[in-house]
Chain A
Amino acid sequence: MYIHQHICISPQQTNGVVDLEAIHPSSAGKLLALEPKLGGVPPGMLRRMSKAVRMGIGAGLPLIKEVNVDGIIIGTANGGMEDCIQFLNQIIDYEEGLLTPANFVQSTPNAIAGQLSLITKNRAYNATHVHNGLAFENALIDAKMSLAEKPDTQYLVGGIDEISSYNYNIDQLAGWYDSTKSNEDLYTSTAPGTIAGEGAAMFVINNNAAAALGRIDAIEAFQSMDQEQVEARFKNFLSTYNTDINHTLFISGENGDSRFLPGYTSCELAIGSSIPVVRFKHLTGEYPTSSSFALWLACQALAEQSLPAHFYKNEHNLTQIDRVILYNQYQGLQHSFILVSR
């Protein structure tokens, strides 16, 4: 399957004129996405949208306004978390009394896919995958199956998540975030925890090779707490798809959390110590569907045939990029490998 168009909303200048040289700094351990002005959204709908929905509409709507798609397939771990917590607060604050329902209706994660279909009157397949660090991967697998079932179709596939203050609080209590860390020295940290992020990346995907931005050759997604098993499966993935490592880039989901560095390193070494390694979470922060940003970055690398120096973990003499291997993991449990080529 082939990627034809994409839009990426992130904490960096990735939407519209792309500038990956200058990096916006994180603040208090968070990287907030830059929101575009939304066009074509009825004001009556706009007023109820959470940031997650606004980002989803902002990245998705321009892609499907003029092009008909045969399905809208979204990966989002939390959808409108902020709405969810606002409704939760109402329940407690008003002691389960008379409550306003708008937050409740908007809190369902499928509000993003639902609103995209509502605005464009798209009554085709509509799916919302919410399985945390595998939500976007499942959206891709869903699209892959849809294209096998009906080859002449195309799909909007996206990954979206927002930082909500309350969700941040819960994840910080659980030790996933460290608010003293910043994106300037993210990878030198030797402590657990990372910075939080958010964003939305959307893709139009079909079977046409002509003029494609990239081809997705393989996706593997699973859960495991056993690092040796992850490494074995990664090696198996490489041999199954017979991956040539010449002209190949490895995009790593390394996020500055000391607990997960060995896992990323072992996969780098599994490919070969000379593989050029690119990291991206100093641009995005950590969020469950950050692999959607990584896929966008892979397309960017294939199109430009280079990336700014700050992305690279190691010395490299890469002059040509023919394929990209992505490895991302979320909270030490969910792992995914994606192979993209031009």
Chain B
Amino acid sequence: MSRIVVTGIGIITAIGETADENRDSLIHAKTGIGKARFFNSRYTGQLPFGEINQSTELLAEKLGIENNIATRTDLLALHAAKQAIIDANLSKEDLSGNDTALIGGSTVGGMCLTDEMYADANAAGISNSPYLTSYSNSANTSFLQRYFNVGGLVNTFNTACSSSANAIMYGARLLKNGLAKKVIAGGVDSLSKYTVNGFNALMILADEPCRPFDSERKGLNLGEGAAFLVLEREEDASGKRVYAEVRGYGNSNDAFHPSSTSVEGEGPYLSMKRALEVAGLSPEEINFVNAHGTATENNDETESAAMLRLFGTPPDFASTKSYTGHTLGAAGAIEAVYSIISLQHQEVYPSLHFTQAITATGLSPITTYKQKNLQHIMSNSFGFGGNCTSLIFSKM
């Protein structure tokens, strides 16, 4: 069966608006988590966020989008998808072909406009709101489809925080099954009162920069961002620059609780194991894990337990959420890009703010930048509703 390869990448996060800028921050351990300037909420001053340092108006202007028709989510998605499409050199004809698919993932979607949605949901009679079709979690994918005139299958996943990992998995499977020849897959989420209040109500937001896998971790920071990949079959990508292979993917449901993972990490264990099966790899062949690592009490301990079960002695691992915050539906795609640039440059980036391992598991992430021979990297994304997804990227 054909190998599925990555021919284009695009990304925007709190640590940069290109892959190069993101890499530079990762190498120099420069976090993007801090005081938000543009996000407007009661918690703006109280909690740290991984905010992208640009106003929605500026994002729109740079992309040449007339204001008031696109949400921040739409614009972040466009920024990243446009980069990936240019990077992979997809032509207008490529995009409009019936065999080019667009697969997104998002949890917030247009609900970044929390106040506007509240007003429209309760408005009587007539509304002049330009956003009436913008609130759904698939609106940003439709926005991209119309912008690029994508001709093939269009889809959006919302499996909470594993959404865009599932989008990439689905995209790779469409190619393997011959249902598409080119796939643009990724995800986006922007800071929103909706998610900030939701996670705050669950009491899992930290009032300090997050400390993934630390025994004293206090919870997660919310971030925002978008990333998209262009995927093609190896035989269709000849002559193109190829970043990496999408070697494996696995998904499972933890079947334990709507918002927390089982103690033994059954779901995470199964998604990692299934990804290895699809990749045809044994656990010891994985050189690095980009962990889900949200820095909540529950995630880091259960993810560690699952890694111990699967690997015995786990390989080097780290959580880039200490740079970007938790970007929810976008996290899987953003961390896919980080895995890909790690492979490309044969280097791994440190986890920040870690001092002491969790007693029960004793696992420590890497805390310094290093160059390393990397053949296979696993990236984990786990979401509410028990949804767990693992992806494996390999050097070509």
Q: Touching in the complex, A and B, CB below 8 A?
A: yes
Binding site for B on A (CB under 8 A): 72, 77-79, 84-85, 87-92, 95-101, 104-111, 113-115, 117-118, 120-132, 134-135, 138, 141-142, 144-145, 148-149, 166-167, 169-171, 173-174, 221-223, 225, 233, 331, 333-334
Binding site for A on B (CB under 8 A): 41-43, 98, 107, 111, 114-115, 117-118, 120-123, 126-127, 129, 132-133, 135-138, 141-142, 145-146, 150-160, 166, 170, 173-174, 176-177, 179, 193-194, 196-198, 200-202, 251-259, 266-267, 270, 383-387
Known contacts A97-B42, A110-B387, A126-B159; 19 additional CB pairs below 8 A are A88-B121, A96-B193, A99-B201, A100-B201, A104-B198, A114-B387, A118-B386, A123-B254, A126-B252, A129-B157, A130-B156, A130-B157, A131-B141, A134-B153, A141-B153, A166-B121, A173-B126, A173-B129, A334-B154
27 A-B interface contacts by CB (under 8 A):
A72-B253, A88-B111, A88-B121, A90-B197, A91-B118, A92-B115, A96-B43, A99-B201, A104-B202, A105-B384, A107-B198, A113-B253, A117-B255, A118-B258, A124-B252, A124-B253, A127-B166, A128-B157, A132-B142, A134-B154, A145-B176, A148-B177, A167-B121, A221-B153, A221-B154, A223-B142, A223-B145
Knowing A88-B118, A108-B160, A174-B133 are in contact, say whether A114-B152 is a contact too (CB < 8 A): no
A127 neighbours in B (Cβ, 8 Å): 157, 159, 166, 170, 251
Nearest-neighbour CB distance to chain A for B34, whole angstroms, equals 20
B255 neighbours in A (Cβ, 8 Å): 117-118, 120-123
Please tell me which one of the listed residues B135, B151, B198, B385 contacts residue A222 in the complex, with CB atoms under 8 A apart: B151
State the CA gap A334–B153 with chains docked (Å).
10
Please tell me which one of the listed residues A85, A92, A222 contacts residue B154 in the complex, with CB atoms under 8 A apart: A222
Please tell me which one of the listed residues A130, A141, A223 contacts residue B137 in the complex, with CB atoms under 8 A apart: A130
Knowing A130-B138, A145-B177, A222-B152 are in contact, say whether A114-B118 is a contact too (CB < 8 A): no
State the CA gap A114–B256 with chains docked (Å).
9
Could you tell me if B179 and A108 are in contact, using CB atoms closer than 8 angstroms?
no
B132 neighbours in A (Cβ, 8 Å): 170-171, 173-174
State the CA gap A91–B41 with chains docked (Å).
10
State the CA gap A173–B255 with chains docked (Å).
39
Could you tell me if A79 and B158 are in contact, using CB atoms closer than 8 angstroms?
yes
Nearest-neighbour CB distance to chain B for A1, whole angstroms, equals 12
State the CA gap A105–B141 with chains docked (Å).
23
Could you tell me if A109 and B122 are in contact, using CB atoms closer than 8 angstroms?
no
Knowing A96-B193, A149-B173 are in contact, say whether A110-B385 is a contact too (CB < 8 A): yes
Knowing A128-B157, A221-B154 are in contact, say whether A109-B121 is a contact too (CB < 8 A): no
Could you tell me if B136 and A78 are in contact, using CB atoms closer than 8 angstroms?
yes
B196 neighbours in A (Cβ, 8 Å): 96
Could you tell me if A173 and B160 are in contact, using CB atoms closer than 8 angstroms?
no
Nearest-neighbour CB distance to chain A for B133, whole angstroms, equals 6
Nearest-neighbour CB distance to chain A for B116, whole angstroms, equals 10
B198 neighbours in A (Cβ, 8 Å): 87, 99, 101, 104-105, 107
Nearest-neighbour CB distance to chain A for B339, whole angstroms, equals 22
State the CA gap A296–B252 with chains docked (Å).
28
Could you tell me if A105 and B179 are in contact, using CB atoms closer than 8 angstroms?
no
State the CA gap A142–B146 with chains docked (Å).
23
Nearest-neighbour CB distance to chain A for B198, whole angstroms, equals 4
Closest to A107 in B: B198
State the CA gap A174–B173 with chains docked (Å).
36
A88 neighbours in B (Cβ, 8 Å): 111, 114, 117-118, 121, 194
State the CA gap A255–B224 with chains docked (Å).
39
Nearest-neighbour CB distance to chain B for A108, whole angstroms, equals 5
State the CA gap A87–B194 with chains docked (Å).
8
Q: Which of B120, B151, B155 has the most CB of A within 10 A?
A: B155
State the CA gap A148–B114 with chains docked (Å).
42
Closest to A75 in B: B155
Nearest-neighbour CB distance to chain B for A293, whole angstroms, equals 20
Q: Which of B43, B107, B157 has the most CB of A within 10 A?
A: B157
